[in-house]
């Protein structure tokens, strides 16, 4: 099993310090953003502009993700254990059951195939 990691990136450092507004400003010059396997446990990420960010295999245990629009983000393999997700949008390929399993039991998100 992969362990959460800290990514050597100024954008990642901004999020680790919960400076979401600065991340949103700086992100436009760095899109797409690769945060695969990143450690976002316990962070308050409300207001995050998550479009074009790859969060595959990332850890969001107990993070505050309320209101984030993940529809243009990659979340395959991410774990949402005990995260707050009220008002968040997720990619249409993720079923509600899949999201709830991840929040309640920490399972990795798996996309539906059509």
CA gap 60, 80 in Å, rounded: 5
CA gap 7, 13 in Å, rounded: 8
What confidence tier does 114 reach under pLDDT thresholds 50, 70, 90?
A: low
State the pLDDT at residue 1: 52
Q: Average pLDDT, stretch 12-30? A: 95
pLDDT tops 80 at residue 23: yes
Residue ranges and CATH numbers for the domains of the chain are 1-114 (2.160.20)
State the pLDDT at residue 3: 83
């Amino acid at each position: 099993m992969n362990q959460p990691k800290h990514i050597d990136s100024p954008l990642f450092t901004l999020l680790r310090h919960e400076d979401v507004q600065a991340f949103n400003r700086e992100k436009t010059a760095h899109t797409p953003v690769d945060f695969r396997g990143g450690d976002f446990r316990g962070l308050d990420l409300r207001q995050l502009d998550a479009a074009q960010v790859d969060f595959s295999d990332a850890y969001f245990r107990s993070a505050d993700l309320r209101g984030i629009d993940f529809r243009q983000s990659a979340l395959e393999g991410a774990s949402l254990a005990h995260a707050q997700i009220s008002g968040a949008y997720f990619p249409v390929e993720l079923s509600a059951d899949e999201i709830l399993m991840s929040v309640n039991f920490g399972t990795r998100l798996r996309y539906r195939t059509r």
